[in-house]
Structure 1
Amino acid sequence: MSHKRIPKRKAAIAAGSVAALGAAALLLPHANASQDGAADNATPKTLKATDASDLASQLAGMLGDSFAGSYYDSAKQQLVVNVVGGANNNVVVQAKKAGAAVRQVDNSTAELKSAAQTLKTKATIPGTSWAIDPRTNKVLVTADSTVTGAKWNRLESTVQSLGSGMATLKKSAGTFKTFASGGDAIFSQAQGGTVRCSLGFNVTASDGSPAFLTAGHCGVAAKQWSDSQNGQPIATVDQATFPGNDFALVKYDDPATQAPSEVNAGNGQTVQITQAADATVGEQVFRMGSTTGLHNGTVTGLDATVNFQSETDPNGVDTVNGLIQTDVCAEAGDSGGSLFTQDGSAVGLTSGGSGDCTSGGETFFQPVTAALQATGATLGGGNGAGGQQAGGDQQAGGDQSATAAPGDQSGTGTQAPGDQSGTGTGAPGDQSGTGTGAPGDQSGTGTGAPGDQSGTGAADGSGLTQSH
């Protein structure tokens, strides 16, 4: 591939590639909003997840202190709003008339946030995370496999001190780590070897130049990035934040680069990204990554705090706040990759987590809306369609949500999202064609750049690449 100019067919790096998926594998049919009877009977409306998110924001303002979180019931396609006991009945009636299912709960948002602050003060331990779970009306605290002995006792006693019914503590079989590698693979040379990450979404920087978003820990690890291993750099980090947050804005070196606002879904199919949206607990999301391809799952928590073991200080902690927690799997090499919805909304950038795509686990994502706001970038690249502000209307050029729904190939069998069984296709981003190496196999690299979790991550099979 020439690195003097980005090929127009995919603008250097479309936001995420994946091996062959088969028919109807990526997007599900759009849910149709139905409001029949809602006004008269105050029954919950049937909503798409994005509409439910908008309604939740409105109700949060209307309910004030009575609001205790909300989540999307995907089975019923309804928004469920928590209201603390003793709330004004008129407020509850208003919420129901607005179309939400309302349930009474014990813990207020203020109480749950106070509990999270106590955890931050007393239990910021590497390998821990916590997020408010509106489905249980508790703080969900998770400890990975490294939290043992005195660390576990400290965490457990802190959770118990919060009081009965305030928090839930669970163990994760894996280890919390950053997943540097993602959509289409991007590469950079760093001390000891090659760092691999993933592109999240193409954007337009505030100065009008073409750029893309990826994970902040990738941007901190290396300054210049290529679209092929050992290739010439094609993009340079403009802004990078990690820890605290986890996003980076990387500008294409060629100002004439065409970078369409889309996710490459394989088989010549793309998903048009038309807007940025905030995640909603309970909604279905899709993740694209250069190591594991396409996988789907559910948002399980918002405003999550994750305490990664510091990669520069053996006794330190790299804490990242404000993340989206999901049960979507990810592995080394997926960092920075795209988290999006079936209707073309950009939601998150892969940060890190525990587990893998065999046993599952928790994965955390930097919200795209926060990254856009912080960097001043807008969704959409130099493809003539203009940019898209976070949470705004669709790009100029009209609604493209019905464009070539990936997987719609009548006459062929349907695979579940991410299911590549029986295809014989290597994982996207695998440079050797041999598949994923044994966990921790980083032979010959001697890498020590940020993101190196030796012994925990899966190598890409090349023997050269450090995956994040």
Structure 2
Amino acid sequence: MRHVRRRVVRRVTRLTAVAGLLLGGAMVTQAAMAAESPGATAVPRSAPPSSVDLGSGLAARLGASRTAGNWIGADGRPVVAVTDAAAAAEVRRAGAEPRIVRHSMAELRSAASTLRAAPRVAGTAWVMDYRSNRVVVEADRTVSVSDWGRMSRVAGGIGPFVHMERTRGAFTTRLNGAQPILSTGGRCSAGFNVTDGKTDFILTAGHCGPAGSTWFADNQGDRQLGRTVRSTFPGNDFSLVQYASGRAGEGAGIVAIGGGKGVRITGTADASVGQRVFRSGSTSGLHDGRVTGLNATVNYPEGTVTGLIQTTVCAEPGDSGGPLFSDGIALGVTSGGSGDCTQGGTTFFQPVTKALSALGMKLLVSAPQSGGQGSVPATAPPGSASRGSIAPGAASPGSSATAGDGTNAATLVSRLTDPGTVGPGLLIIAGSLVALVATRWIRAEQDRKAYQRYYSATWG
């Protein structure tokens, strides 16, 4: 009976090995196809509008004459400012919280247009404050008494809902993010990696340097990163630095936050008023704050920039161009502001969605990690976690990762065992082949020994 059991074992082993070959081949094929899909690591991806952010949809549907902006409440619910009871009822039925205000979005926009048409005063900024239903005009310490008086008269002529206030420090571009990039014009921070499908670029601030500027990764000028190929400033504040090699390399979807750590970027979205956000820069590192306004206008000494995100996040010289994000969603790149990270201040950011649209680029992203801190669930839209589905205080920078310059490759073992690669399939195929060869060798060895026994008994 022993030879019968051996025969059964060999057959089971061969069948298992053949099944392993089929399974391994299927896994290799699936992994190869997945590597070309939009869900792979470091591929272009933009987040679709969040299904849970009702505020912007309600404001758009009701119109500028019946609404006056939307924001995220302290409980994480969207709040919509409305001008009449009927609009409030519609907002309430949709599941959002209405706030009845006096002045509509049309009036707020008209006030901002009047301020923009007035003679320009460097050191001033204004934003439509949805929560207070006002247009807030700020003037820094460089604005003279006469200019302050002139701006106050313009504001008084618009109406009492235009509020004037002084701010500490001076509004400056933060020339001099996460990773430092250097040129003869100064130091800035890399924002996000983007691509046109053929070549990779760094998206950073436009005021960092004009087209033609050459950027390096070190003070000695030994490691050339690339050259600025497009730059827009003032008006907007974004630019493209084309990589000298044409490729961003490993870790393209990660932004550094200091200490060798980074955050995986998984998509793009527009910021929301009240949202908790994070900024990383090569000077001051990682800091957080809140979005206080959208479509802000800032009169820098170098020129006027409009359509910015206003925040309470601090920043310092050298942080220009650095990334603004929340829960792994790219929101903006650092433009400028006032104050510092000791006393605080106001910082403005160029929205990423606007820059990508103008440049015709796509963000290079990392595939979200299921179960990681701040990761986006696979069943949710990539932008949902940062668009009000959670309370602002619960927001996180995003899922963590190791940050580096792409020179430290993963180990062979980690590559082979990564379920997102062909490694596991190749391992199964190799194991199956070994099993098949082993069963054939064992069978041949048993046959040889049996023949020897027979030969010895016959001719011995």
TM-score by length of 1: 0.66
Q: Partner of 2:53: helix, strand, or coil?
A: helix
Match of 2:328 in 1: 344
Q: Partner of 1:282: helix, strand, or coil?
A: coil
Matched, 1:378 2:377: no
Structure 1 residue ranges without an equivalent (≥5): 1-49, 311-317, 381-386, 388-394, 407-416, 419-468
Matched, 1:215 2:215: no
Sequence identity of aligned pairs in percent?
47
Cα 1:256–1:287 shift into 2, 3 Å:
closer
Match of 1:450 in 2: none
- 1:375 corresponds to which letter in structure 2? L
1:123 shift after superposition: 4.6
Matched, 1:224 2:214: yes
Cα 1:140–1:113 shift into 2, 3 Å:
same
Match of 2:191 in 1: 200
1:97 shift after superposition: 2.2
Summarize the alignment of residues 181-330 of structure 1 with structure 2, pairs less than 5 Å apart: 181-190=176-185, 195-204=186-195, 206-220=196-210, 223-232=213-222, 233-258=224-249, 260-310=252-302, 318-330=303-315
Q: Partner of 2:177: helix, strand, or coil?
A: coil
Match of 1:92 in 2: 88
Separation (CA, whole Å) in 2 of partners of 1:401 and 1:220: 41
1:82 shift after superposition: 0.2
TM-score by length of 2: 0.67
1:405 shift after superposition: 6.0
Match of 1:360 in 2: 344
Match of 1:133 in 2: 129
Listed one character per residue, the Cα deviations across residues 244-267 of structure 1 (whole Å, up to 9, x for unaligned) are: 000001110102441521112234
Determine which of 123, 131, 146 is the counterpart of 1:150.
Answer: 146
Match of 1:106 in 2: 102
Larger Rg computed on CA atoms: 2
- 1:72 corresponds to which letter in structure 2? I
Match of 1:70 in 2: 70
- 2:80 corresponds to which letter in structure 1? V
Cα 1:367–1:67 shift into 2, 3 Å:
same
Matched, 1:177 2:172: yes
Separation (CA, whole Å) in 2 of partners of 1:177 and 1:102: 37
Q: Partner of 2:54: helix, strand, or coil?
A: helix
Separation (CA, whole Å) in 1 of partners of 2:244 and 2:76: 44
Instruction: Give the paired residue count.
Output: 327
- 2:315 corresponds to which letter in structure 1? A
Separation (CA, whole Å) in 2 of partners of 1:145 and 1:96: 43
Separation (CA, whole Å) in 2 of partners of 1:127 and 1:235: 33
Cα 1:324–1:256 shift into 2, 3 Å:
closer
Cα 1:175–1:401 shift into 2, 3 Å:
farther
Give the conservation status (yes or no) of the 8 Å contact 2:152–2:164. Answer: yes
- C-alpha RMSD of the superposition: 2.3
Q: Partner of 2:210: helix, strand, or coil?
A: helix
Listed one character per residue, the Cα deviations across residues 139-197 of structure 1 (whole Å, up to 9, x for unaligned) are: 01100001122101101111111112x1111111101100024211100124xxxx100
Listed one character per residue, the Cα deviations across residues 19-59 of structure 1 (whole Å, up to 9, x for unaligned) are: xxxxxxxxxxxxxxxxxxxxxxxxxxxxxxx9588322211
Separation (CA, whole Å) in 1 of partners of 2:328 and 2:346: 23
- 1:126 corresponds to which letter in structure 2? A
Separation (CA, whole Å) in 2 of partners of 1:334 and 1:53: 32
Cα 1:266–1:405 shift into 2, 3 Å:
farther
- 2:246 corresponds to which letter in structure 1? P
Separation (CA, whole Å) in 2 of partners of 1:116 and 1:357: 29
Structure 2 residue ranges without an equivalent (≥5): 1-48, 376-395, 398-460
Summarize the alignment of residues 55-66 of structure 1 with structure 2, pairs less than 5 Å apart: 55-64=54-63, 65-66=65-66
Separation (CA, whole Å) in 2 of partners of 1:254 and 1:403: 32
Separation (CA, whole Å) in 2 of partners of 1:172 and 1:61: 33
Cα 1:404–1:267 shift into 2, 3 Å:
farther
Separation (CA, whole Å) in 1 of partners of 2:101 and 2:51: 20
Q: Partner of 2:184: helix, strand, or coil?
A: strand
Separation (CA, whole Å) in 1 of partners of 2:237 and 2:97: 34
Separation (CA, whole Å) in 1 of partners of 2:337 and 2:51: 27
Separation (CA, whole Å) in 1 of partners of 2:55 and 2:322: 27
Cα 1:101–1:80 shift into 2, 3 Å:
same
Q: Say which structure is richer in helix.
A: 2
Give the conservation status (yes or no) of the 8 Å contact 1:181–1:290. Answer: no
Separation (CA, whole Å) in 2 of partners of 1:245 and 1:355: 22
Separation (CA, whole Å) in 1 of partners of 2:235 and 2:221: 31
1:207 shift after superposition: 4.5
1:401 shift after superposition: 6.2
